[in-house]
Structure 1
């Protein structure tokens, strides 16, 4: 038993690198959005097409990825996912060189397709790689390293991508051909070099994983939840499990709300009545939003060994909704601190929803993971919806969209707290 636990510990340690890298890549979108918005003179709705194309890949690719993982296993799925994500990073080079927004959107889709496969393979792998009754705590801990990536991503992205001030449309029109060429080359290089390095890291990780010997495990059902599953239900599709279906909607609104807030932070903090910050300085503060999630996940991984996951979800969701409400109604430092503090509340939401929704699926865990990951498409649609409202009623008031998302998550937590009976409740 001790040797098996040590083997699992090593595998979990290696898997944390995946959570870190896809967190880093995802949070870079928050920096590229204001950059591309300025470079291509886009409105908020057009700028949110970045998140639409990125998270649409989850909807298009998640279910096929779930079937792929069920067929070939976790490790091959991870290797393919890293390779595809690396190819997506390479596409940023011609997109920046050709100054093509459609090609940028294509690159985001390909990159996210690789990350989708990583999520579909790695998330359930963590839940079954150890004691099933502590799956929520274990996934929360690995997600904490995902948050480390999302914390560092905006900071380094601000230094590298937002270092060159983007000119306005009038300023660009006043440049002669030679000056315009120099300016466009500088803007392209700001994007090209970071993503070339990221591609190299992803291909390197794929090579490392191809050489590693990871334990082969199958999905199991927590002993405390076995009574909830009949032999007949075990033969059905994952769609027959209510907590999975409701959990998919919770993942949809959670990712949508979290991404929407992160996507608008740079522009929100740039508002004169909020913080009045320049893009690069506002971009650095985005790290505090994602850093709060990192701190909360490390704390939550310990606390949730004592607290029922459903109750923790209710508490965090209601706190997040309250903070978003304050950011909508206040200004200055109060609004700034309130919106950044939402990240702390986000901390345990994704891993908790994910593990609760997979409870009792047994052999349908791969399919259930694909369904849940396809629900990440909320990150494509909800920011786009908030962008539509921001163009009409302003950024600050448009935050009512994520506020509604958090209220639904509180409902899902209450539903889980009533229905599930864990040994630690």
Structure 2
């Protein structure tokens, strides 16, 4: 079952001036930055809590399982909220829920209880899910359909800016303070309290700001009459669109691969045959992975004005497969920098898959967005699977799993993303 909705596409960018769209897009970039920042902090939490609670890789990856599992469980309710309340109010509610989740880290650390940490992460991710369901399609609708991929890629670049800055923030306030303290586990757990209270404050400030902003009205219930091939005129649901269904699989694979690689970077770089660095030092290399995605998104936004988005997506996925293969079969600096460069390949993947999958959905756009956000559960499943292989065969060899994810993305970019309706008897 998927959430249904009837948000407009063409009517939105016809009824508002370019000035309004520019202001709305500028405002929305702050959201992309914040949820990128918060999501990337998980890459710091994993090695930190793994050491604090003496966890296996599988147990440590429950952090990503709970965080991204929220996307699967909460995307449909989030879609219903957006349908009833609209994009802007959905954003405000999402920010408040995320702030509550951040505040949950304080009692979790005080109690020194890993399970409470996981509950707080789930609440936090539930708020982020609502932000994703509301903001991603909103950006797609703020302009001409043919430039949706470029527009969403540009805003996602600020998401990558958040993921680039977050490791420095986390390494300084969490890993380095813990290493310097050399204290008992309870004190080490409390190192996360200040960072997440600060994040809660920022989220609540953003919620207040967005409650006062005047963003374009999206309440109209009109189909898009000018969308390519008239696919949106078909009665039914978004599940009829083959390119959307395959796009959901693509989102699952992409998010799973990206999150899984990021989750293992600190431990991988710390291995003796790679760089042999302490956690606090290895964390300083994570920004190269996420920073590559940021740079690539700014470049990709321009490239896709001239080259078909699907072709760019396929090329990037092929390069990711090559780089991960080098990582598996090499060591030292070559292995380390090969895996870090995968971030550059990741750059345009999420926004491109997202916008390609929504092409031609018209009045089913919000429903399609909910389906795609369900697929973000790949960030819960793939890291957990790779953790199993890391526990049994080592971190380096476990990177074979993301290769399969990127191979599917190659297929989607070059063939599966072409708009088509499923034939249902």
SS in 1 for 2:172: helix
User: How far, CA to CA, are the matches of 1:418 and 1:249 in structure 2?
Assistant: 14
User: How far, CA to CA, are the matches of 1:354 and 1:127 in structure 2?
Assistant: 9
Contact 2:52 2:189 in 1 (8 A): no
> 1:264 corresponds to which residue?
264
Superposition deviation, residue 92 in structure 1: 0.2
- Does residue 229 in structure 1 map to residue 231 in structure 2? yes
> 2:202 corresponds to which residue?
201
User: How far, CA to CA, are the matches of 1:267 and 1:58 in structure 2?
Assistant: 26
Instruction: Write the mapping of 1:39-58 to structure 2, written as runs, cut at 5 A.
Output: 39-58=52-71
User: How far, CA to CA, are the matches of 1:142 and 1:124 in structure 2?
Assistant: 12
Which sits farther off after the overlay, 50-59 or 188-197?
188-197
Contact 2:289 2:344 in 1 (8 A): yes
User: How far, CA to CA, are the matches of 2:72 and 2:171 in structure 1?
Assistant: 29
TM-score, normalization by structure 1: 0.92
What is the CA deviation profile of residues 264-306 of structure 1, one whole-angstrom value per residue up to 9, with x for unaligned ones?
A: 0000000000111110111110011000000000010111100
Superposition deviation, residue 165 in structure 1: 4.4
Contact 2:37 2:163 in 1 (8 A): yes
- Does residue 69 in structure 1 map to residue 82 in structure 2? yes
User: How far, CA to CA, are the matches of 2:274 and 2:337 in structure 1?
Assistant: 10
> 1:211 corresponds to which residue?
212
- Does residue 94 in structure 1 map to residue 96 in structure 2? no
Superposition deviation, residue 156 in structure 1: 1.0
User: How far, CA to CA, are the matches of 2:152 and 2:17 in structure 1?
Assistant: 19
What is the CA deviation profile of residues 213-264 of structure 1, one whole-angstrom value per residue up to 9, with x for unaligned ones?
A: 11113686494x5325163x2x211001000000000000100000000000
Contact 1:254 1:405 in 2 (8 A): yes
User: How far, CA to CA, are the matches of 1:71 and 1:128 in structure 2?
Assistant: 18
> 1:350 corresponds to which residue?
350
User: How far, CA to CA, are the matches of 1:419 and 1:58 in structure 2?
Assistant: 25
> 1:366 corresponds to which residue?
366
Superposition deviation, residue 64 in structure 1: 1.6
Contact 1:314 1:413 in 2 (8 A): yes
User: How far, CA to CA, are the matches of 2:102 and 2:368 in structure 1?
Assistant: 28
Change (3 A) 1:388 1:116: same
Instruction: Write the mapping of 1:159-308 to structure 2, written as runs, cut at 5 A.
Output: 159-165=172-178, 183-184=184-185, 186-217=187-218, 221=224, 223=226, 225-229=227-231, 231=233, 233=234, 235-308=235-308
Structure 2 gaps of 5+ residues are 1-13, 421-425
Instruction: Write the mapping of 1:322-341 to structure 2, written as runs, cut at 5 A.
Output: 322-341=322-341
User: How far, CA to CA, are the matches of 1:236 and 1:222 in structure 2?
Assistant: 16
Structure 1 gaps of 5+ residues are 168-178, 421-425
Change (3 A) 1:221 1:307: farther
SS in 2 for 1:305: coil
Change (3 A) 1:412 1:228: farther
- Does residue 38 in structure 1 map to residue 51 in structure 2? yes
Superposition deviation, residue 132 in structure 1: 1.2
Which sits farther off after the overlay, 381-390 or 3-12?
3-12
SS in 2 for 1:385: helix
User: How far, CA to CA, are the matches of 1:124 and 1:65 in structure 2?
Assistant: 13
Number of residues paired by the alignment?
405
Contact 1:309 1:417 in 2 (8 A): no
TM-score, normalization by structure 2: 0.92
Superposition deviation, residue 71 in structure 1: 1.8
Superposition deviation, residue 189 in structure 1: 3.3
Structure 1 outlier segments of 4+, above 6 Å: none
User: How far, CA to CA, are the matches of 1:220 and 1:383 in structure 2?
Assistant: 39
SS in 1 for 2:399: helix
Change (3 A) 1:367 1:241: same
Q: How large is the Cα RMSD of the aligned pairs?
A: 1.8
User: How far, CA to CA, are the matches of 1:366 and 1:407 in structure 2?
Assistant: 28
